[in-house]
């Protein structure tokens, strides 16, 4: 990792408030956040402003923010250990977004892969917010002068743009205000949680996800319907992708003994996928039960949600105000 400028390093990451969190989000991202809050100065937020590009209704927006906040708290993010906040509570971000937009060029924004994807998928909703999504994300990161940004592969280009905008600002105003934010390099291998539909990864938009808030019945139904194959025809046969996916999921939620048991059956051509799925479903239900219980608890405790959001907002605003006053000074914005 490149040199960072803060000790401990400053970490920023956000998740858009669209839909519930799933097992892939938890094992691939949130579990790392929970660990990071112990060692770094962390800012984790719910990106409600980013979700406006797709025009949610006011009710839906409010519900989603509460759901994700409850889920963040349930997985173990602590309002005391990190700054856990809602993006729109830190209006300083929006001012920085405006300044960054003055030096973000149409060409580079149009070349962004996620923008091109969205234009292709929704040609009737190509709004300016969508075009400048990377400048808003850069503002989220730069407003806390972040050193490290834990994000998935699909966000690497956005992170690269945040670095570009920060460096451009530094150069233009002859300052070293913004460090170059780096992706998080964990010493553990990156996990990729597969879906239940035989190929690829678990994802919100893939329709193949187990949500942290799914009921035991929903989990059982989804797992029992998971794609498998006709079974091995010779001992120690390599596994097909759908079957490997079942084993991968099992490796995350079942005991090593259970996993070894089904590996053994597979290698001896004695496996019955129905039995394996039943076991996987039960282990998944048990794995998720405590999380579901905690989500339910926070979701029904408006007071706790408000307190957490207010504490997070206060911490994030303090950091954001300090950066913004230096930004204004660099630019020459000053009240008379």
Interacting residue ranges for ligand ADP, rule: CB under 6 A: 15-16, 24-25, 28-29, 151-152, 154, 191-193, 201-205
Q: Which does 50 bind (CB under 5 to 8 A by kind): ligand TRP, ligand ADP, none?
A: ligand TRP
∠ Cα 238 230 23 (to 5°): 70
Does position 148 interact with ligand TRP (CB under 6 A)? The reply is no
Quote the distance between the C-alpha of residue 251 and its chain's center: 22
What does 202 bind: ligand TRP, ligand ADP, none (CB cut-off 5 to 8 Å by kind)?
ligand ADP
For CA atoms 143, 148, 150, 156, the dihedral sign is positive
In the bound state with ligand TRP, the residue whose beta carbon lies nearer, of 5 and 244, is 5
Pairing, β 83-86 against β 148-149: unpaired
Given the residues 204, 239, 278, 294, the one annotated as active site? 204
The verdict on 47 binding ligand TRP (CB under 6 A) reads yes
Task: Using the rule CB under 6 A, give the single segment among 136-144, 189-197, 222-230, 319-327 that binds ligand TRP.
Answer: 136-144
Determine the residue with CB nearest ligand TRP: 14
Report yes or no: 75 and 298 within 8 Å, Cβ to Cβ: no
**Order of strands, sheet of 41-47, starting from the edge strand that comes earlier in the sequence:** 83-86, 41-47, 10-16, 148-149, 182-183
Is 136 exposed, middle or buried (CB count within 10 Å of its CB: 0-12, 13-18, 19+)? buried
Of 41, 40, 50, nearest to 15 by C-alpha is 50
Per CB under 6 A, the list member of 48, 71, 140, 147 interacting with ligand TRP is 140
* Residue 201 annotated as catalytic: yes
Coil vs helix vs strand at 13: strand
- Whether residue 118 lies in the annotated active site: yes
Question: Which residues neighbour 17 within 8 Å (Cβ) at sequence distance 6 or greater?
Answer: 46, 47, 48, 51, 61, 64, 65, 67, 68
- 292 belongs to the binding site for ligand TRP (CB under 6 A): no
Catalytic residue among 81, 201, 239, 294: 201
> Is 149 an interacting residue with respect to ligand TRP (CB under 6 A)?
yes
| Contact with ligand TRP (CB under 6 A) among 10, 34, 50, 327 | 50
Residue 250 binds which entry of ligand TRP, ligand ADP, none, with Cβ cut-offs from 5 to 8 Å by kind?
A: none
**Partner in contact with 14, chosen from ligand TRP, ligand ADP, none, beta carbon below 5 to 8 Å by kind:** ligand TRP
**Considering CB distances under 5 to 8 angstroms, the limit depending on partner class, which of ligand ADP, ligand TRP, none binds residue 20?**
none
Per DSSP, the residues of 144-179 read TT-SEE---GGGHHHHHHHHHHHHHHHHHTT---S-
Report the partner that residue 231 touches, choosing among ligand ADP, ligand TRP, none (CB closer than 5 to 8 A by kind).
none
Strand locations in the chain (E): 10-16, 41-47, 83-86, 148-149, 182-183
Q: What is the total count of residues that contact ligand TRP (CB under 6 A)? A: 13
> Under the criterion CB under 6 A, does residue 14 sit at the interface with ligand TRP?
yes
Shortest Å, Cβ 223 to ligand ADP: 16
Distance, in Å, from the CA atom of 285 to the CA atom of 281, rounded to the nearest integer, reads: 6
> Considering only residues 36, 65, 148, 151, which one is a binding residue for ligand TRP as defined by CB under 6 A?
151
User: Interface with ligand TRP by CB under 6 A: which residues?
Assistant: 12-14, 16, 47, 50, 137, 140-141, 149, 151, 155, 158
- Positions annotated as catalytic residues are 118, 201, 204
């Amino acid at each position: 990792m490149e040199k960072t400028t803060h000790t401990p390093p400053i970490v920023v990451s956000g998740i858009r408030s669209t839909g519930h969190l799933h097992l892939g989000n938890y094992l691939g991202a949130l579990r790392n956040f929970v660990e990071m809050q112990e060692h770094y100065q962390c800012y984790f937020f719910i990106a409600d402003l980013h979700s406006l590009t797709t025009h949610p209704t006011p009710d839906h927006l409010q519900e989603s923010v509460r759901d994700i906040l409850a889920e963040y708290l349930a997985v173990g993010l602590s309002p005391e250990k990190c700054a856990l906040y809602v993006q729109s509570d830190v209006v300083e971000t929006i001012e920085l977004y405006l300044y960054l937009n003055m030096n973000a060029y149409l060409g580079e924004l149009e070349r962004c892969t996620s923008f091109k994807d969205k234009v292709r998928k929704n040609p009737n909703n190509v709004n300016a917010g969508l075009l400048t999504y990377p400048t808003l994300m850069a503002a989220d990161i730069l407003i806390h002068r972040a050193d490290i940004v834990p994000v998935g592969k699909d966000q690497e280009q956005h992170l690269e743009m945040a670095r570009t905008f920060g460096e451009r600002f530094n150069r233009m105003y002859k300052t070293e205000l913004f460090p170059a934010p780096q992706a998080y390099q964990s010493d553990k291998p990156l996990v990729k949680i597969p879906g239940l539909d035989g190929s690829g990864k678990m994802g919100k938009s893939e329709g193949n996800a187990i949500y942290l808030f799914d009921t035991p019945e929903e989990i059982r139904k989804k797992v029992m319907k998971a794609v498998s194959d006709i079974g091995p025809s010779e001992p120690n046969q390599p596994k097909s992708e759908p079957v490997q996916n079942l084993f991968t999921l099992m490796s995350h939620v079942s005991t090593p003994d259970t996993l070894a048991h089904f590996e053994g059956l597979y290698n001896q051509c004695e496996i019955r996928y129905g039995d394996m799925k039943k076991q996987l479903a039960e282990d998944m239900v048990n794995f998720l039960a405590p999380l579901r219980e905690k989500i339910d608890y926070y979701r029904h405790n408006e007071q706790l949600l408000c307190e957490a959001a207010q504490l997070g907002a206060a911490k994030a605003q303090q950091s954001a105000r300090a950066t913004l006053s230096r930004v204004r000074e660099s630019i020459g914005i000053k009240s008379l």
